[in-house]
Amino acid sequence: MSAIKRLFGIVWTLMGVGIIPLVIMQAMKEIAAKPSEENWIFWSIVIVVLMPIISFSLITFGVFALKGEYDVIA
């Protein structure tokens, strides 16, 4: 089980890192296609609020998992 937990640690870290360019590229594409106020508001919320939370928490969690910090949960 510990090996699976550690292995998934790589998955969470990669997801946390990968989400950043994906979201930014999608935002740029959609805003360029339609630079409306609603597009700006929506992508601002996603980029400023949601993405950092998801990325930071997934990367930190993934690194902890990879290091075996979650091998034994109290």
Partner 1 sequence: MAQNVTNVSQTEEVSSTRRVIAASSVGTLIEWYDFYIFGTLAKIISEQFFPKDNPTAALLATLATFAAGFVIRPFGALFFGRLGDLIGRKYTFLVTLVIMGGSTFAIGLVPGYKTIGFFAPAIVFVLRLLQGLALGGEYGGAATYVAEHSPAGQRGFWTSFIQTTATLGLFLALGVILIVRQTLGVETFSDWGWRIPFLLSALLVGVSVFIRMKMSESPMFVKMKKEGKTSANPLAESFKQKDNLKMVLIALLGATAGQGVVWYTGQFYALSFLQNTCNVEFVQSNMIISIALLIGTPFFVVFGALSDKIGRKYIMMAGMLIAVLSYGPLYNSMYDNANLKNKIEIVEKTTVETKEAVKGTDNITTTVTKKTFTDGTTYKETQKLTVPLDEAKKAELAAAGKLKPETKKETTLSDSIKNKMIGIVLIQVIFVTMVYGPIAAFLVEIFPTRIRYTSMSLPYHIGNGVFGGLVPLIATRLVEASKEPGYSNPLTNAINSFTGHIGTPAGQVDPLAGLMYPILIASVSFIIGMLYISNKTNNMDVE
- Give contact residues for partner 1 (rule: CB under 8 A): 4-5, 8, 12, 15, 36-38, 41-42, 45-46, 49-50, 53, 57-58, 60-61, 64-65, 69-70, 73-74
CA pair distance 31, 42, nearest whole angstrom: 10
Q: What is the nearest approach in angstroms of partner 1 to the Cβ of residue 73?
A: 4
CA pair distance 5, 62, nearest whole angstrom: 9
Contact criterion met (CB below 8 Å) for 27 and 46: yes
Residue the block writes with tokens 């296609």: 33
Nearer to partner 1, 24 or 70 (CB): 70
Nearer to partner 1, 31 or 69 (CB): 69
Q: What is the nearest approach in angstroms of partner 1 to the Cβ of residue 24?
A: 17
Residue length, the chain? 74
